[in-house]
Structure 1
Amino acid sequence: MTLHHAAGVGSQRAAGLYERSRPSYPMAALAALADALPLQAGRTAVDLGAGTGKFTRLLALTGAEVLAVEPVPEMRERLAALLPGVVVTAGTAEATGLPDGCADAVVAAQSWHWFQETDALDEVERLLRPGGALALVWNTYDTSVPWVRDFQDIFFRLAPRDLPSPPLASGIGDPDNRWRRSFEGRPGWGRVHERHWPNPHSTTVEDVVERMMSSSHIAVLDAAEQERVRADLESLLGAHEPTRRGGDIEMPYMTDVYWVRRR
Structure 2
Amino acid sequence: MTVHHAAGVGYPRAAGVYERSRPSYPITAVAALADALPLEAGRTVVDLGAGTGKFTRLLALTGAEVLAVEPVREMRERMAELLPAVAVTAGTAEATGLPEDCADAVVAAQSWHWFQEEQALAEVERLLRPGGALALVWNTYDTTVPWVRDYQDIYFRLAPRDLPSPPLGSRPGDEGGWREAFESRKGWSVPEERHWPNPHSTTVEDVVERMMSSSHIAVLDPAAQAQVRAEVEAVLDAHDATRGNGAVEMPYTTDVYWLRYG
TM-score (norm 2): 0.96
Corresponding position of 1:258: 257
Aligned residue identity for 1:48: L
Cα shift at 1:158: 2.6
Q: Is the 8 A contact 2:50 2:108 kept in 1?
A: yes
- Provide the rounded CA distance (Å) in 1 between the counterparts of 2:175 and 2:169: 10
Match of 2:130 in 1: 130
SS at match of 2:52: coil
Aligned residues: 261
Percent sequence identity over matched residues? 77
| CA distance 1:100–1:8, change in 2 (3 Å) | same
Establish whether residue 99 from structure 1 lines up as the match of residue 91 from structure 2: no
8 Å CA contact retained: 1:108, 1:137: yes
Q: Is the 8 A contact 2:50 2:56 kept in 1?
A: yes
- 1:77 has 2:107 as partner: no
CA distance in 2, matches of 1:226, 1:246: 20
The corresponding residue for 2:144 is: 144
Deviation at 1:165, TM superposition (A): 3.6
Instruction: Give the structure 2 partner of residue 204 of structure 1.
Output: 203
Asked if the contact 1:142/1:170 (under 8 Å) is kept, the reply is no
Structure 1: which 5+ runs fail to align? Answer: none
Matched-pair contact (CA < 8 Å) for 1:98–1:127: yes
Counterparts of residues 183-222 of structure 1 (less than 5 Å) = 183-222=182-221
Q: Report the Cα distance in structure 1 between the residues aligned to 2:119 and 2:134, rounded to whole angstroms.
A: 14
AA of the residue aligned to 1:56: T
How far residue 80 of structure 1 moved from its aligned partner, in angstroms, is 1.1
**TM-fit CA distance, 1:175:** 6.3
> Paired residue for 1:167?
168
Distance 1:246 1:54 in 2: 25
1:176 Cα offset (Å): 4.6
Hey, what's the Cα distance between the residues in 2 that align with 1:100 and 1:253? 36
Q: Is the 8 A contact 2:205 2:245 kept in 1?
A: no
SS of the equivalent of 1:18 reads helix
Taking the aligned partners of 1:256 and 1:223, their CA distance within structure 2 comes to 34
After superposition, residues 22-61 of structure 1 pair within 5 angstroms as 22-61=22-61
Distance 2:248 2:187 in 1: 45
1:12 corresponds to: 12
Question: Once the 2 structures are TM-superposed, how far is the Cα of residue 162 of structure 1 from its aligned partner?
Answer: 1.3
Shift of 1:117: 0.5
Shift of 1:245: 6.8
Query: Which structure 2 segments of 5+ residues have no match?
Result: none
Larger mean Cα displacement after TM superposition, 25-34 or 241-250: 241-250
Q: After alignment, is 181-190 or 93-102 more displaced? A: 181-190
Compared CA separation, residues 244 and 217, structure 1 to 2 (3 A):
closer
Deviations 1:31-81 (A, max 9, x none): 000000000000000000000000000000000000000000000001111
Q: Deviations over 1:201-228 (max 9, x none)?
A: 1100110000000001000111111111
Letter in 1 for 2:116: Q
Offset at residue 159 of structure 1 (A): 2.7
Whole-angstrom CA distance in 1 between matches of 2:243 and 2:9: 35
Q: Which runs of 4+ in 1 moved over 6 A?
A: none
Aligned mates of 2:10, 2:129 — CA distance in 1? 34
What is the DSSP-based 3-state SS (H/G/I as helix, E as strand, rest coil) of the residue aligned with 2:132? strand
Partner of 2:139, secondary structure, is: strand
Q: Aligned partners of 1:189, 1:165: CA distance in 2, in Å?
A: 21
Q: In structure 2, what is the equivalent of residue 241 of structure 1?
A: 240
Distance of 1:56 and 1:192 partners within structure 2 = 22
In the alignment, the residues of structure 2 paired with residue 169 and residue 22 of structure 1 have an alpha-carbon distance, to the nearest angstrom, of: 18
Distance 1:243 1:145, change over 3 A: closer
Matched to 2:185, the amino acid is R
Aligned counterparts of 1:112 and 1:160: Cα–Cα separation in 2: 15
